[in-house]
Amino acid sequence: MDPDRFTHVDEMTWRIEPKGAMRVPAIIYADEALIRDMDDKVHEQATNVATLPGIVRASYAMPDAHWGYGFPIGGVAAFDPDHGGVVSAGGVGFDISCGVRTMVTGVAADKIPPLQKALADSFFRQIPAGLGSTGAIELDTDEMTAMLSGGAQWAFERGWGEARDLERIEENGRMAGADPACVSERARERQRREMGTLGSGNHYFELQAVAEIFDEAVAGVFGLKLGEVVITIHCGSRGLGHQIGTDFLKEMVVAAAETGIDIPDRELACAPINSDIGQRYLGAMRAAVNCALANRQILGHHARRVFNHFFPSADISLLFDVSHNTCKVEEHPVDGKSRSLFVHRKGATRAFGPGHPSLPAALRTAGQPVLIGGSMGTGSYILVGETSSEAKAFSSACHGAGRSLSRHAALKRWSGRKVVDELAEQGILIRSPSMRGVAEEAPGAYKDVSSVVMAAERAGLARRVARLRPLICIKG
């Protein structure tokens, strides 16, 4: 994008002034290099979001922003139901509650090399991955409903994971307000055998080493130590979430027209929060959040079991589990008054600062862990939420590196087999059922995650705590 299209507020803040149908400005947080590398569609989509009814303060985009469906990926917007605010399925995304879970092992990374191949093979056997992947769990009608209501709590009650996990999961492992009755039979059928599976696309399971510590005090609170191994899982609500998005986008196109909402892009289909369809979508979306939380809880259980087979004395504890694609009711100050807002985060993560009451007591003094996925070869980061993020973007931060090339372009440039071999030479073992999928997710198809993270820190969204180096990656 051309930086001259923006008002350059400060080093990391680029503002699109309200014009035409825009109700508020659009703001992108990034350095100039990241702005120049962003697709022009990010400008267009951030501007379009700013036209939606009931939007509060601004339409925001994170440093990893890129073209998405309706909202840019990396988009954040909050809506007030008392001022005609809307909910948009495109503002949540199809992979509802796609998120990240990081677990601390306490095992030194130098113990991994002799066992690395065996570990990689074992993880790959035990964690179903790939397009349409299914697992050993099959849910009947009653169990499907219980899962959609109970989330990770349902999973724990059935023997997956540990009780201490729940306090380290967003919403304590269960999203309130879920309404399984709003989930279509087609969505349920797609999920019937997909619990405990990784899926495809950018989803992954990684064994990682803590390669660098930036904040010793916060790292201590998080249980992170230089040279130790952590486990990270990135996945979401699989076929169920995708079907819910598909079902309600069709309805919302009609609802927008019927309620007189003029949307600049069909992909921004939305409905008033207080309407029947708005409430039904929220009930179904919250059920999908619970599906994703349950899915990551089951995968975390499998990860513990495999890792403990090789390291029986390892005490594997959950650092945090946080979602990216959601719409949540949160209290935020606006013009000096606290207001209950519906915050859409699409490809963005919640990043509450120190002292926030929703955080578990053990983390409250430090702030929320912000888990940033990189790519198979470049590593990931753990950040911590900053108090300043509240005023910046409703306590939000970036969620990953962000794509710089489409999957189609990546396939033209890389061979999956070559990517696997080159990463093996760097000591990173890849396991995947699809070499095509590996090529689509080649490290070069993503932005430089370190640049994205630095931009988030300099913008006051979140602060670096640790950098993680991949050792083993299971890709869908």
Question: What is the distance between the alpha carbons of residues 178 and 180, in angstroms, rounded to a whole number?
Answer: 6
Tokens 């249980």: give the residue. 223
Residues facing residue 379 across a β-bridge:
375
User: Beta 13-16 vs 26-29: how paired, if at all?
Assistant: antiparallel
Instruction: Compute the distance between CA of residue 57 and CA of residue 65 in angstroms, rounded to an integer.
Output: 19
Per the annotation, the verdict on 399 as an active-site residue is yes
Q: What's the 3-state SS for the chain?
A: CCHHHCEEEECCEEEECCCCCCCCCEEEECCHHHHHHCCHHHHHHHHHHCCCCCEEEEEEEEEEEECCCCCCEEEEEEECHHHCCEEEHHHCCCCCCCEEEEEEEEEEHHHCHHHHHHHHHHHHHHCCCCCCCCCCCCCCHHHHHHHHHHHHHHHHHCCCCCHHHHHHEHHHHCCCCCCHHHCCHHHHHHHCCCCCCCCCCCCEEEEEEEEEECCHHHHHHHCCCCCEEEEEEEECCHHHHHHHHHHHHHHHHHHHHHCCCCCCCHHHCEEECCCHHHHHHHHHHHHHHHHHHHHHHHHHHHHHHHHHHHCCCCCCEEEEEEECCEEEEEEEEECCEEEEEEEEEECEEECCCCCCCCCCHHHHCCCCEEEEEEECCCEEEEEEECCCHHHHHCCEEECECCECCCHHHHHHHCCHHHHHHHHHHCCCEEECCCHHHHHHCCHHHECCHHHHHHHHHHCCCEEEEEEEEEEEEEEC
Active-site option among 203, 234, 332, 399:
399
Let me know: does 29 contact 42? Beta carbons within 8 Å: no
Tokens of 456: 């988030």
- Please answer whether residues 96 and 237 qualify as being in contact, where contact means their C-beta atoms are separated by less than 8 angstroms: yes
Q: Report CA-CA distances (Å) from 191 to 50, 94, 139, 183.
A: 34, 14, 8, 11
Class of residue 454 by CB neighbours under 10 A (exposed 0-12, middle 13-18, buried 19+): middle
Q: Supply the residues annotated as catalytic.
A: 399
